[in-house]
Amino acid sequence: MKRTLLAIMIMMLGTATACSSALSQGDKTSDNAHVFLIQSTQIMDKIGKDIALEGQAYLVIKYQVENLRSQNDAARRWTDQITLEARDEYYDPTFIKSLDGQLWETSLLKREKKAGYMAFTVPEDIFDFDLTFTFPTSETEVIYQLRAVDKRISANVDWLLMGLRQIENSKRIPLIGRLLPIPSTIMMYRGIMLVPKEEISHLMEQTKGLPENAKRAVIEDYLIAHGHCRLE
């Protein structure tokens, strides 16, 4: 069944082919002529009036390029420097009419940087991609491994928020002159342990008094850190 709207943020971990340090979102990599970085990545079904076909989705990447040299850089098609692969298949960029700020081709003045979007049409059931950027001058390749935050994580956050509310409410119920203690049971969802009992109090303390969006962010960070971003 076609999803009405999906927006999946991508977590990124990359390694350079000839570099020992790992790259993460926001990190810059460069040769002697240019700098490249990926600012953000999302998977979505709909962009403005453009809706992906059944079984497909849009992978939207915001990237930045910078000219390090003290001379102007001729116009070049930067999308030709980027390749996307998943499951041994390669995907070409797709121009999306309703996506503003797409950066396919541009020149750069000396020391100038520009950022923009490029999109790919990909199968909707793939969330892991390898993106390779080839520096145009040195032909050095940098490989980013794009790994998605699973769509299941939203349900996990909802489940934990409900559980923490129940615990907080139960603590307010008087029991023979005292309050109920925090339950000593673990927090599970569909048979998967999300929070062990010894960490419930700490998670409650972290979210205490926060607005709803901030609570969700704390819980999502906790789930990702503990490997719960890929539950089916």
Pure H helices in the chain: 152-171, 197-207, 212-225
Please name each of the domains of the chain with its CATH number: 7-148 (2.60.40.1240), 152-225 (no CATH)
Average pLDDT value over all residues in the chain: 80
pLDDT tens per residue across span 120-152: 999 988 888 889 999 999 999 998 888 765 556
The per-residue pLDDT for 21 is 40
Whole-angstrom Cα distance, residue 34 to residue 149?
30
What would the pLDDT profile of 165-204 be if each residue is shown by its tens digit? 888 777 655 555 554 444 556 787 766 778 888 888 889 9
3-state class (DSSP) for residue 46 = strand
Closest-CA residue to 10 (of 53, 48, 61): 61
pLDDT value of residue 185: 66
Banded pLDDT at 228 (limits 50, 70, 90): low
| pLDDT, mean of residues 153-170 | 82
**Number of C-beta neighbours around residue 133 at 10 A:** 23
